Copies of this chain bind each other. A is one copy, B any other.
Amino acid sequence: MKVSQLFSKTQKKDPKAEASLNAKLLMKAGFIDKLGAGIYTYLPLGLKVIQKIENIAKEELEKINAIEVLMPGLHPKKNWEKTGRWGIQEMFKIGNYGLGWTHEEIITPLAKKFLNSEKDFPKYIYQIQTKYRNEKRAKSGILRGREFIMKDLYSFHLNEEDLNNYYKEVQKAYFKIFERCGLKEHTYLTLADGGAFSEEYSHEFQTITNAGEDTIFICKHCHLALNKEVKQKECPNCKNTLFQEKKAIEVANIFKLKDKYSKPFNFKINDQYILMGCYGLGISRLLGAIVEVFNDENGIIFPTEVAPFDIYLIDIDKKKEALSFYVALKNKGYDVLYDDRDKTPGEKFKDADLLGIPLRVVISEKTLKQDSVEVKKREESISKLIKKVDFKIKSC
């Protein structure tokens, strides 16, 4: 794609009235636009990253046999009265509808319709969907939106062993997702209170950044983390007592719901309530977390697999070779953003850094004299010349 085709533009100054680093950087680089507190439009660049994260999540969930559906955003009051959660203040309400911020009240009666004999179990159902939550405090950019994109997975089991096994499988799948998003080294499995969902521990996946609203305590020995609510003297896993305190963002959470929702909906087989697990993953929040973790004073630094493009191609001296090199790169299967604008090299370099695309490639009279292009990785400061014919991302 050419930069001139993009709808968005970069901004020279930090956006006003935006306290969070993630929204500041994403707005400045033209990835998102703010419509109101906690409400953002995903511009072409931002949506591209969101779709990449979504595809990673889909691929990893399908590997553990989850199947995709799409449930409504408008929820009937009667479903939520059944579980006693209609009163929750953060739920937007319109007469006898509530706007979905989670979907236990919808998936449970739905699953009950279709799963009616032993051989129908286990089943794993997920969706990627826009959710709504009336956050009083929506000051963290896309980390805590009133409208946000979630992946939510629900599992249905006949016995606890089966639930426990799948719960562990999801943990592995989630770490694979974080790995592909570049966040694995920064993200900790964190013990948390079962809270309103369950009586035993649940788990959060917490990504370390200074912007984090949460505080976690990482066991220096086994790396299990504990959140504030369940912090105790010794690590429940390895019994060590040394912890490191860190600010973190909760990018996912998983719960063994057990019969918490199958009971009110009377969902049982052979007189036994169905056991459920639920597994949330914040898609738009992951974009925010990636930006909070990977940035420098010049802008965002996207991990390869979630970058909106592979290459930012800059044309200096208006060389006709730039366009043909752009076409050649596309033919090689690279996803290229070609800066064809009538701007100074300095402005283009600045935007290349701001957008955070992993590789910058410059083509100019000087590089062409050596049949070369100049390449620079976003996170490095040194550039080098590579022969045009030899160009491969891997050799940069």
> What is A's interface to B at a CB cutoff of 8 Å?
4-9, 30, 33, 35-36, 39-44, 47, 50, 65, 67-76, 92-94, 97, 99, 106, 110-111, 113-115, 119, 123, 125, 130, 132, 146-147
- Beta-carbon contact of B94 and A69 below 8 Å: no
| Interface CB pairs A-B, < 8 A, 17 | A5-B65, A5-B67, A6-B67, A7-B111, A7-B115, A7-B123, A8-B114, A33-B110, A35-B71, A35-B106, A41-B71, A41-B72, A41-B106, A42-B69, A47-B68, A74-B132, A130-B130
Per the bound structure, the CA–CA distance linking A369 and B346 in Å amounts to 74
Per the bound structure, the CA–CA distance linking A36 and B35 in Å amounts to 30
- Beta-carbon contact of A36 and B74 below 8 Å: yes
Q: Which residues of B contact A76 (CB under 8 A)?
A: 35-36, 39
Given known A92-B94, A94-B94, contact A7–B74 (CB-CB < 8 A): no
Copies of chain A in the complex: 2
Q: Which residues of B contact A9 (CB under 8 A)?
A: 114
Q: Which residues of B contact A65 (CB under 8 A)?
A: 5
Cross-interface CB contact of A113 among B4, B33, B125, cutoff 8 Å: B33
Per the bound structure, the CA–CA distance linking A111 and B41 in Å amounts to 12
- Beta-carbon contact of A43 and B72 below 8 Å: no
Q: Which residues of B contact A69 (CB under 8 A)?
A: 7, 41-44, 47
Cross-interface CB contact of A67 among B33, B36, B44, B114, cutoff 8 Å: B44
Per the bound structure, the CA–CA distance linking A113 and B43 in Å amounts to 12
Q: Which residues of B contact A147 (CB under 8 A)?
A: 72-74
Q: Which residues of B contact A99 (CB under 8 A)?
A: 94
Top 8 nearest A-B pairs (CB, nearest first) are A42-B70, A39-B72, A41-B71, A36-B76, A44-B67, A92-B94, A72-B147, A74-B147
